[in-house]
Structures are given as C-alpha cells and as structure tokens.
Structure 1
Amino acid sequence: MTASARSAHARAATRFPVVTHLADRMVSVNIFDSATRLAAQSFLTAVPLLFVVGAYAPPPVRHQLITSVRTVFGVTGAADAQLVQALSPTTGSLRQATGVVGGLMVLLSATAVSRALQRLCKRAWEIPRAGTRIAPWRWLAWLVLWLAALLVQGPMRDGFGVGAWLGIPITLVGLTGLWWWTQHLLLGGLVGWKPLLPGAVITAVAVTALSVTARLYLPRALNQALSEYGSLGPVFILLSWLIVVCVAVAISISAGAVVAQEPAPARRLGSPPPVRGRAAHR
C-alpha cells in the first residue's frame, strides 16, 4: 500500500505539479492547526485590546474604530449597542480597572498574534527555525500597523464617501500592500519582495471576499446568538468566523509561496528554491 501510494503521488506530481506541490505544502504547514492557533490568539488579543482602546483612546479614535468595525462586519441592532457600550465607557472606572501597567501588558501579550503569523509564514516558505532569529520589534510594529489599518477600514470600504463600487477595489489594493508588507516584515527580509507578491494578492482577494460575505451573515447571526445565549453567544460566532478567515489566510500564503517557487515564476521573481529543489542540488 505504501509503494502504491508513493507511485500514485509520483504520477500526480508529473501530471499536476502545482496541485501536488500545494498539497504537500499544506501538509507541511499543518493548515488547520496553524489557522486554529492563529484564530485563537487573534480572539484572545482582540477582546483585551477593545477594553484598552475604550479606556485610553481619545473619543475621535474610539468613534472611528466603532465606525470601521460596524462597516466591516455590518453590525446592527443589539450587537451594535454592545460594541458601542464596550468602546464608549461613561466613567473613568474602566481606565482605573485597566491601569497603565495592565494596558502595557495587553499590548505586549498581543504580539502572540504576530508570532503565530510569523510561524505560519516561515512554514509556508519552508524556512527552518534554527539560525533564523528575527528581531522582536517586528512583532510590535506589525500590531501597530494593523491597528492603524483597522481604523481606516470604514472610510476605505465606503470608497471615502463615493460608494462600495470604489471601496472594494481600494480595499483590495490596500490589503494586497498590507499582506505584502506583513510577510516581508515577519520573515525579516529572508525572502525578497517580489516572491512575496503572489501570496499577498491571493490573500487579499480571499480576505476581501470573506469580508463581503461577512456583512451578509454576521449581523443576523450575532444578534440571534446575543438574544438566545446572552453576551457569551457572539463569542462562538466570532471565533468560528475567525477560524474560517485564518484558514483562508494560511491556504493563501502557502499557495502564494508554491506559485512563486514554480520554475517559470521563480525565474522572474527570483524566488528561493523549495526544499525539494535544495535537496536535489546537494
């Protein structure tokens, strides 16, 4: 059975090389495990950060964040009221409860998302752990830029007042640049800019498509879960949606690496050879 499986794999690699290489990369990346870890870290980071922003951010920033979250997820009704309440405390009690030290600890622990995404990118590009230390400041820089990107999502999705017909292309271009920079930053420049472009484009298309569908599903699901199960109901909905998004991100980054390392694109992009190519040259 093992010999038969190897023979079938060899035939598939000859007939459908890209598909076979992508399947092999998915296995090596451990897509669902990596995506689940990334989703869990994102959720555990997002909730404390909401409280920190609500406690310390000036009112214009809080208002812009509410507008962006409302625009991205299409939040309405009871879920929207909960969002406004979380980010608009009426007294200083939230700031006192959070504290400066607590806020700094939340920001530092939030870099766990950066580290999880960094591991995903390194696995997708088959970069070994040994001898590839990357400066920790990159984790914090990634977090700060993504928080800034979240603040401008509302105006971008609305096309800066023109409409969704312009907002969606602008969002697609913006997310392409963001994921392009994300890979380069978290990989510490171990892979050049050009090879990272296919993964950035694929990821941006996948995330943009999911964000459009989220506006059709999430508002009703969040309000229904809130009415039936209370404040804990939306937790399951948001975590499930995050897992779907992170699976799409993991697949897209891995697919981009595979495409960039195929012979024809690799010659144009200057991509590093895959592990199987490195082994063949030894």
Structure 2
Amino acid sequence: MNRQQLRDWARSVQEFPQRTPVVTRILARLVTVRWMDAGARLAAQTFLAALPLLIVVAAFAPKRVKDVLAESVQSLFGENAPVDTIEETFAAQGVTKDAFGAVGVVVLLVSATAVSRALQQVCERCWDLPRAGARLSAWRWLVWLVGWLLAVLFQAPLRHGFGAGSRLGVLLSLSTAVLLWWWTQHLLLGGRIGWAPLLPGGVLTGFGTVTYVYVSGMFLPKAMERSLAQFGSLGYVFTLLSWLLAACCVVVGGIALGQVAATSGPFPRLLGTPRGGGFAGRTPGD
C-alpha cells in the first residue's frame, strides 16, 4: 500500500461518521450506556436475586401454578430442555417453605429489587436522565417485579397460543413482549418520558427478546445436556449464566437503540421527541 492509498484510507475513516450518522449514533449510544457491562450486571442481578425469588414463589404456589411455571421456564430454554433438572429446581416445596417462611419471602422480594434498580439505571442512562430517588422509585421496583413474575408464568400458554396453535403463539409472544418492555421503560423512568417516544424501544426490545428465545431454543438444550454431562450441576449454572448474559445484552441494546430511533430521522416529529434527546436534567414529576 503506497502513501496515496494510505491517505485515501485515512480520509475515508475520518469521513465515515459524516457519511453514516445513524450508525455513528448507534455505536456512540452503545458505548455511552456501556452495553456489555450493563448487560453483565443485569444478568448477574437476575441470577442472584430474581431466580431465587422465582423458586421461592413456586414453593409457596399451588401445584397447578408450579406446573405452569416449570413449563414456562422450560419453554424459555427450548422444548427439548432437560425437564428433570427444571422440575427439580421447582420441586423442593417443603424444604424451601421451612427455610424461608413468610418473612423470608418478603426479605427476598425486597432483595430482588436489585434487578429493577439495575434495569432502571439502564433506562436512565439510555435517555440521559438523572437517577431518580429511592423514595419515588421503590414502589415501581416492586411493581415491575410482579409484572416480570406474571410474564414468566404465562410464557408457555402464550407460546402455545392458549391452545390455538404456535402461529398465534408467536404473534401473542411478540405483542406481549412489546407491551411489557414499553411499559417497563415508562414505569422505571417514572413517567419522565411520554409513551410515544418509548415505543421504538419497546418494539426493538420485544422483538429482540422473543427472537432470541426462539433461536436460542434450537441449540440451548443440547448445550445444557453437554454441560450437565461434563460438569454436573456447575455446567447447568454456567450455561444458564451465559444464556442470561446474552439475553440481558439484547435487552440493553434494544432500549439503547430505541432511544436512537426515537431521536433520529422523522421520528422526533412523529413521536414528539426532541431531536437528540433533550431530556437531561428532568426529574420525576416534571
């Protein structure tokens, strides 16, 4: 490569942001929100706080609810996921009740709000908003957890279209996921941003998570079987953590790219979003 080619290459690199402003904004937003770090933190909080809550709730739930919950968790991992391992996870009803009790469940519920707090920080960072105080956000963390538990509980019925078939199940899963993540952003941001600008994030995150669950279901069961055969229970943990990490990166990326979409092109005019954001400095109730 001669000097002229090097100069042309350097000039093309310098002009790349001007030629592709949307791509540049996407990359800048992912860097700003610390995409991988935020996804890893969200995955860790889900594994350490939310999943134990799910197990304890299953222990106190009626058998019919527990069976539906186990089926829903299996549907998230794929139809061929190891059923015995999943059922054993939700089967220790008596031991779990004796170990926790009602007070322990309340304490675990409060601890599980770490997931809500981490997700709230992701939403605030994506929209360049200051952190909301705990006094104004605490009840929102608990409400989101309840919504998350309900969403997990109904995964299997949704995927089966409530008995109407898998085609309807796909449509129901997509629409429910979009509504869930649209509502999640509005709830955790404390209403500081209107519903319309949050719609692209809801659509991207909803479609991204549903697509990820369906695609991962093709290879995750075999990966879990190999891990269980090679490493025992630790293999199951490693595989689950890897799956959670990728899922949480999809969530963070969807919310971040939703902000870029809502503040780019014709969307600011259509959605009422100030171009470039314009929400910095707002506090709940503004």
**Alignment TM-score, normalising by the size of structure 1:** 0.89
Aligned counterparts, 1:94-173, within 5 A = 94-129=96-131, 134-173=136-175
- Displacement of 1:38 after TM fit? 0.4
Q: Output the CA distance in 2 between the equivalents of 1:263 and 1:133.
A: 37
User: Which residue of 39, 42, 64 corresponds with 2:68?
Assistant: 64
CA-based RMSD of the aligned residues comes to 2.4
Q: Output the CA distance in 1 between the equivalents of 2:113 and 2:269.
A: 35
**Residue in structure 2 matched with residue 218 of structure 1 by the alignment:** 220
Q: Output the CA distance in 2 between the equivalents of 1:166 and 1:277.
A: 38
CA spacing shift, 1:94–1:75, aligned 2, 3 Å:
farther
**Residue in structure 1 matched with residue 3 of structure 2 by the alignment:** none
1:254-282 residue CA offsets vs partner (Å, 9 max, x unmatched): 1110110115210110113436898xxxx
CA spacing shift, 1:133–1:31, aligned 2, 3 Å:
farther
Q: Output the CA distance in 1 between the equivalents of 2:87 and 2:172.
A: 27
One-letter amino acid of the counterpart of residue 150, structure 2: A
**Residue in structure 1 matched with residue 269 of structure 2 by the alignment:** 267
Aligned counterparts, 1:33-44, within 5 A = 33-44=37-48
**Residue in structure 2 matched with residue 82 of structure 1 by the alignment:** 85
- Is 1:21 the counterpart of 2:25? The answer is yes
- Displacement of 1:115 after TM fit? 0.5
Q: Output the CA distance in 2 between the equivalents of 1:68 and 1:277.
A: 38
CA contact (8 A) 1:225 1:234 kept: yes
Any unmatched runs of 5+ in structure 1? 1-6
Q: Output the CA distance in 1 between the equivalents of 2:194 and 2:279.
A: 18
Q: SS of 2:191's equivalent?
A: coil
1:113-171 residue CA offsets vs partner (Å, 9 max, x unmatched): 00001000111111123789742100000000110111111011011112222211110
CA contact (8 A) 2:55 2:90 kept: yes
- Displacement of 1:205 after TM fit? 1.1
CA contact (8 A) 2:76 2:217 kept: yes
CA spacing shift, 1:276–1:84, aligned 2, 3 Å:
closer
Q: SS of 1:126's equivalent?
A: coil
One-letter amino acid of the counterpart of residue 49, structure 2: T
Range with bigger deviation, 217-226 or 43-52: 43-52
- Displacement of 1:82 after TM fit? 2.0
CA contact (8 A) 1:72 1:157 kept: no
CA contact (8 A) 1:75 1:218 kept: no
* Count of residues paired in the alignment: 271
CA contact (8 A) 2:124 2:189 kept: yes
1:89-132 residue CA offsets vs partner (Å, 9 max, x unmatched): 36x23211122222111111110000001000111111123789
One-letter amino acid of the counterpart of residue 17, structure 1: P
- Displacement of 1:85 after TM fit? 1.9
- Displacement of 1:72 after TM fit? 2.1
Q: SS of 1:136's equivalent?
A: helix
**Alignment TM-score, normalising by the size of structure 2:** 0.87
Q: Output the CA distance in 2 between the equivalents of 1:50 and 1:28.
A: 32
- Is 1:204 the counterpart of 2:213? The answer is no
How much identity, in percent, do the aligned residues show? 45
Q: Output the CA distance in 1 between the equivalents of 2:276 and 2:142.
A: 29
